[in-house]
Structure 1
Amino acid sequence: MSSSDEGLFPRGPLYLENLVTPFCEKLGLYKLPRHFHVILLSALFYQAINLLSPWISNKLSRHYKHLSKRTKLNWDSHVVSSVQSVFLISLGYLILKEVNNFGDKLFGYSVYAGDIYALADGYFLWDLYVTLRYVHITGIGFVVHAVAALFVVTFSYSPYLMYYGPTYLSWELSTPFLNIHYFLDKTNRTGSTLQLVNGILLVLTFICVRIIWGWYSAYSTAMEIISRVTEIPRGLSLFYLAANMSLNCLNLFWVFKMMDAIRRRAQGEKVSPVQTANSEFAKKNI
């Protein structure tokens, strides 16, 4: 286990910590000031990737310049999503090893774990900004998802339920397959063997990490909260349980969309194996 004050990144300016501390303490986020600089820089990093995506995509794909403006916005968000999923998947083992050393599943905390979660928090902050700005494209479902995800990660800095963080980060294992499917659609490879194989991997991974593992972990989290409910502010517990349930229900909704698309294709309809799911889950139809 890392030492108590050893983080993944160097500590930020103390004046910045002091600036945000009063506000964070009012919300009960006592550990957040130590990681605020990582959250902020993470959000700015993902925005930079979003701004660089048009230039990079034009270099890597001849199809990008022919896309509509709205579809380019969506493509760029998938580029950002791809980058962040690779980061979080790469750090998955480290965070799992770290939280397994926590003596308390409810209130366990370390600076190292806090820095890793700050990377995710920065992404969800950026994601909320994008979904609100383009809500007419993304739909209200993605705003709800962004708010719930941001809430769950941010309020872990109380500290609260950091032990269960790897469960939600493991959901990113399905994201690369989702993004590959999207890029294949947009580069005229819909229905190709590559997309079929990728689609199967997407559905299998999604079911394993977001449905089977996700719902089991949601149950474990809920039981831990309920068993120690007197130790936790009631409002925080209710919000966590509601956010947890909303995220898992959205996953269940999306996997049913995927399975419906597979059924329709098996019946001879011209639909990509996860096209319907992409429409809801990946903001495809723009």
Structure 2
Amino acid sequence: MADLPSFSTKEFYWLASCFCGIITCKLVYDLTGFISPFCFKGYGKLSDKEKMERNNRGFSTFHALIAAWASLYLLLFSDLFDEDSSNDLIVNRSSIISNMFLGFSIGYFLSDLAMVFWHFPALGGLEYVLHHGLSMFSISLSLMSSQGQIYILMVLFSESTTPFVNIRWYLDVAGRKSSTIYIYNGIALFFGWLADMTSTCDDFRLQGFFCSSIFLPTCLTTLMRSRRYFRWGSTACSLYLRCWG
């Protein structure tokens, strides 16, 4: 009888964190649907599609906050990528925490992609499928090789702009498109995204090709998310992209 393949401790952590990400997304999705009627008076007037999308954006916001906090901690406050903390090249460094966080993010992307397919094209078209597919591929590759995690974390830090995108959608559905907070949120979205890119490249003294390679996919992600609901931000991002090039 052939021996069954055994998983290493590292692989177990990967699978456990991925599964944890999926379960967390499900719990936050249900929790958003449960508390929304008490926090949002117009929730009962929303269509089933809008309720579903609101709940979906609930766990999208939750993951964005986790991603922004974890990326910021690992990049700036932990000693994982400190030049003097190890003799390994920075691009070859990883830790249990960084591996589990990346596994958690894969779980999120799997959950969101499953919803995109299930309700296709209500939650997004092929551009979302492409974005999520490339995201999972790059994260998985970095996770399995234990290389390039610093680059993945920099890109994931740009998730900090996602809450602004979701707030934009909430205000739009609530009929507050002409409100002051709507305008301020749009400005915060653009400048928050701009700060993500400039500060990340500054802090790590990245130049040339790498800054461009980080900037381009993040710009495309922001444009993809905002073009439907925030045309001014989409145009501004396009102009900044031209200036960068």
Q: Same fold (TM over 0.5)?
A: yes
**2:241 aligns to what?**
none
Contact 1:128 1:143 in 2 (8 A): yes
Query: Match of 2:7, SS?
Result: helix
Alpha-carbon separation, structure 2, partners of 1:249 and 1:176: 16
Matched, 1:83 2:68: no
Alpha-carbon separation, structure 2, partners of 1:98 and 1:117: 18
Contact 2:18 2:106 in 1 (8 A): yes
Query: Match of 1:88, SS?
Result: helix
2:81 is matched by which residue type in structure 1? Answer: N
CA RMSD of aligned residues (A): 3.4
Alignment of 1:235-274 (within 5 A): 247-248=217-218, 250-251=220-221, 253-254=223-224, 257=227, 261-262=231-232
2:22 is matched by which residue type in structure 1? Answer: A
Structure 2 unaligned blocks of 5 or more: 238-245
**1:162 aligns to what?**
149
Matched, 1:191 2:170: no
1:117 is matched by which residue type in structure 2? Answer: L
What are the Cα deviations for residues 9-52 of structure 1, in whole angstroms up to 9, with x where unaligned?
xxxxxxxxx87739xxxxxxx94433211110111111121123
**2:139 aligns to what?**
153
Q: CA deviation at 1:94?
A: 2.1
Structure 1 unaligned blocks of 5 or more: 1-17, 23-29, 223-240, 263-272, 278-286
Q: CA deviation at 1:204?
A: 1.6
**1:21 aligns to what?**
7
Alignment of 1:4-83 (within 5 A): 21=7, 31-83=10-62
Contact 2:22 2:111 in 1 (8 A): yes
CA separation of 1:252/1:181 partners in 2, compared to 1, >3 Å: closer, same or farther? closer
Q: CA deviation at 1:188?
A: 2.1
What are the Cα deviations for residues 48-67 of structure 1, in whole angstroms up to 9, with x where unaligned?
21123221111111111111
**1:110 aligns to what?**
95
Matched, 1:100 2:81: yes
CA separation of 1:187/1:247 partners in 2, compared to 1, >3 Å: closer, same or farther? same
**1:176 aligns to what?**
163
Query: Match of 1:21, SS?
Result: coil
Q: CA deviation at 1:205?
A: 1.7
Alpha-carbon separation, structure 2, partners of 1:218 and 1:113: 26
Alpha-carbon separation, structure 2, partners of 1:31 and 1:56: 37
**Bigger shift: 50-59 or 96-105?**
96-105
**2:240 aligns to what?**
none
- Determine what percentage of the aligned residue pairs are the same residue: 19
Q: How many matched pairs? A: 221
Alignment of 1:272-283 (within 5 A): none
Query: Match of 1:177, SS?
Result: helix
With the length of structure 1 as denominator, give the TM-score of the two structures: 0.66
Q: CA deviation at 1:253?
A: 4.3
CA separation of 1:19/1:210 partners in 2, compared to 1, >3 Å: closer, same or farther? farther
Contact 1:203 1:255 in 2 (8 A): no
